[in-house]
Amino acid sequence: MSIQKGIAYYQHQHVGNLIIESEDDSITRIGFWKDTGGAESITPVIEQCLQELDEYFSKGRKFFTFNLGFRGTEFQNKVWRELINIPYGTTISYEELAIRLGDVKSIRAVGLANGQNPIAIVVPCHRVIGKNGNLTGYGGGLENKQWLLEHEGAVLKQLSLF
């Protein structure tokens, strides 16, 4: 049985270009992309993803419903699944994420796995910040992390805490 792969490109005025990839009925990658794209192969799950991204960016969607196909180690998958539990419009620290995963000492490994998240925005690694409230590293650039958090209203909530 062959795997049905798909690819699409998504452009957004604030975060720039995204590449979306799928295998069968699961999204396997949403990444920031420098180019404007090439040939596309739109699968049903990519079509659903594109629609839900439009809804997210127009502030109508707070969670995503399509299947995710994680491709990582057992530990990475555990971290990425936990990221999905961070509610829209909120942030947590890397330390809190490590505690949620059961081992505060794993904070560096958690940070590394967070940074290797292959499904940006949908698996909201942008909602993880430094313990002191600083916006730390983001594969899509700190300006995109800040924009996403502002879009979700998390920056306003966070500023009210300090």
d(CA 145, CA 136): 9
Q: Could you confirm whether 125 is annotated as catalytic? A: yes
List 49, 125, 128, 129, catalytic entry: 125
Virtual torsion, Cα 146, 147, 148, 154, nearest 10 deg:
60
CA distances in angstroms from 137 to 25, 68, 125, 128, listed in the order given? 31, 23, 10, 9
Residue 109, both tokens: 């490994």
Q: Report which residue type is found at 21.
A: E
The terminus-to-terminus CA distance of the chain in angstroms comes to 55
From residue 28, how far is each of 36, 52, 69 by CA, in Å?
19, 15, 5
- Distance, in Å, from the CA atom of 97 to the CA atom of 107, rounded to the nearest integer, reads 8
Catalytic residues: 125
